[in-house]
Structure 1
Amino acid sequence: MQPGVTLGSKADKWRDCVVDRIPYNLERVGDTSLDTADRAVALKFLVHFVGDEHQPYHAYGLGRGANDIPVTFFGEEKSKWGHHELHEVWDDGLIDHAHRDDAQWLAMLEKQIADKHLEAGDGDSVTWATESQAIGGEALVLPGANIDQAYADKYLPVIETRLELAGLRLAKLLNASFAAKKKAATANDDGRP
């Protein structure tokens, strides 16, 4: 709890950032004293937040995460949500441009993880946000820029790697959380039925 702030009040900004919300929701997922529905909600948030944090513009402050950076996408000014902005290009545009369905994406990402011997590593939500900020700075374009095939060729592999890392890191978090809870439960078990 924040010192001097009433829990749940308008001034309560504790865990108001994805970097803080990831460990918060991870703790709730593994907390067997919580109702199953509460843990399920925490799991949904955890999956969402880990994924979001690996998209560079979810961790980038300029232009509200590049939402205020209008671009054209292969010469088109409008998307299905309105005008293109750089954030949306990274959320959906480049992924859709690859013309893969979910099964194709899954097979390709699993193969790349195996081929690259990719691992989650030892970082945490702060590390992942820092990685995303660096990528966002590198991939930044001026307002009005056209996102073309050269940009897609350069950054689609980056998106693929970020998706792979997000999945591996989420799995590592969940496995560690459940292993710790199981170990604690076993330590508390006196062996009687």
Structure 2
Amino acid sequence: MWCATLTAVFVSLLPKVHGWGASGHEAVGAIAQQFLASEASSFVASTLDSGETLSSAAPWADDVRSESAFAWSAPLHFVDAEDDPPSSCSVSESRDCSDGECILTAIANYTSRVVDDSLSHEQIYEALKFLDHFIGDIGQPLHVEAFELGGNDIKAKCGGSSTNLQDSGLINKRLKADFGSSVATWANTLVTRIKSGEYANLTSDWISCSSTTEQVSRRELRNVETDIKGHLASRSTTPLECPHIWAVEANELNCEFVFTYTQFSDLCSTSYYDGAIPLIELQLAKQGFRLAAWLNVLFDGSPNL
């Protein structure tokens, strides 16, 4: 685990707004909870506190990142892709995570830790909650982008209130307008889309991971199961292939849509909102499904999806 090496001054400069917000992370956890296989479900139930779920536990990592005891975790929520949006989008592990402290290495680290029987219950509990959160974060386009401090330095409005491009007001408006402010109802809608709706034919691709460097014949063999099992055989913190691919995929949305935003216009009352919501919901559905697959491989041996 990373040590608490960040200074208080540095922590004070980190972004204060978290892209998905609590509601977005709760939706990812709620979706994942409905796709857990038996052993993964039992592990989650026995590891989390009584009455706690992947949904309620998902915002925890954001809640504690500003506390001195968890200051070291702040850089692990993102990877600063030094690309050039909207002209060119890319994520490179060697370029963007050269110090080994980013969301790519964090997911690798906590994947190893969550199944490490030598750790205490509290350490495994934290590993699960970090995975719950970080697999959500890596699908957030501005968590895989360095430009304008991941959108934090792009001034915006939402419903007339001043904010920045990483504001979670888009999600909050969607929840209030269409789901009675209920994350559970929203998540159930996304689960229905996954099981029998517009996402149903996409899910196999969500847990298949195509390498950006290997030949096509080898790429076709890579998926969540082979990625995790290969990683656990070495127990290193070397970034896994699937999270890297998910980061690349989310990062591409910065060129395709996110940075089409006109600075100072209202995120929540313009056509930008109408374009953003389908992308947000697709990304949350993907990451919830992927989180379930991740835990299922770890505890049931296969995605079981």
Note if contact 1:55-1:162 (Cα within 8 Å) is conserved in structure 2. yes
Task: After TM superposition, give the deviation of residue 146 of structure 1 in Å.
Answer: 2.6
Task: After TM superposition, give the deviation of residue 10 of structure 1 in Å.
Answer: 5.2
Note if contact 2:152-2:165 (Cα within 8 Å) is conserved in structure 1. yes
Change (3 A) 1:34 1:135: same
2:264 is the counterpart of 1:144: yes
Partner of 1:37: 122
Moved more, 99-108 or 138-147: 138-147
TM normalised by structure 2 equals: 0.50
2:189 is the counterpart of 1:108: yes
Partner of 1:19: 104
* SS of equivalent residue, structure 2 residue 114: helix
| Structure 2 counterpart of 1:94, from 164, 170, 181 | 170
Task: Provide the rounded CA distance (Å) in 1 between the counterparts of 2:109 and 2:300.
Answer: 17
Partner of 2:37: none
The 5 Å alignment of 1:161-176 reads: 161-176=282-297
Partner of 2:152: 67
Q: 1:108-140: CA deviations, max 9, x gaps?
A: 111111212142322311111111111122221
Change (3 A) 1:129 1:106: same
Task: Provide the rounded CA distance (Å) in 1 between the counterparts of 2:151 and 2:244.
Answer: 20
Structure number with the higher helix fraction is 1
* SS of equivalent residue, structure 1 residue 87: coil
CA RMSD of aligned residues (A): 2.3
Task: Provide the rounded CA distance (Å) in 1 between the counterparts of 2:278 and 2:263.
Answer: 23
Note if contact 2:207-2:293 (Cα within 8 Å) is conserved in structure 1. no
Structure 1: which 5+ runs fail to align?
Answer: 1-6, 181-193
* SS of equivalent residue, structure 1 residue 159: helix
Q: Choose 1 or 2 for highest CA Rg.
A: 1
Task: After TM superposition, give the deviation of residue 59 of structure 1 in Å.
Answer: 0.7
Q: How many residues align?
A: 166
* SS of equivalent residue, structure 2 residue 119: coil
Note if contact 1:15-1:24 (Cα within 8 Å) is conserved in structure 2. no
Partner of 2:20: none
Q: Percent identity?
A: 29
Task: Provide the rounded CA distance (Å) in 1 between the counterparts of 2:191 and 2:252.
Answer: 25
Task: Provide the rounded CA distance (Å) in 2 between the counterparts of 1:24 and 1:122.
Answer: 21
Note if contact 1:73-1:84 (Cα within 8 Å) is conserved in structure 2. yes
Task: Provide the rounded CA distance (Å) in 1 between the counterparts of 2:275 and 2:263.
Answer: 19
2:141 is the counterpart of 1:56: yes
Partner of 1:134: 252
Runs of 4+ in 1 over 2 A off after TM superposition: 7-11
Change (3 A) 1:15 1:30: farther
Task: After TM superposition, give the deviation of residue 143 of structure 1 in Å.
Answer: 2.7
Task: After TM superposition, give the deviation of residue 96 of structure 1 in Å.
Answer: 0.8
Partner of 1:189: none
Q: 1:74-93: CA deviations, max 9, x gaps?
A: 4x1x3xxxx310011xxx21
Note if contact 1:53-1:128 (Cα within 8 Å) is conserved in structure 2. yes
Structure 2: which 5+ runs fail to align?
Answer: 7-97, 210-241
Task: After TM superposition, give the deviation of residue 151 of structure 1 in Å.
Answer: 1.2
Task: Provide the rounded CA distance (Å) in 2 between the counterparts of 1:8 and 1:168.
Answer: 31
Task: Provide the rounded CA distance (Å) in 2 between the counterparts of 1:144 and 1:8.
Answer: 39
Partner of 2:28: none
Task: Provide the rounded CA distance (Å) in 2 between the counterparts of 1:43 and 1:8.
Answer: 18
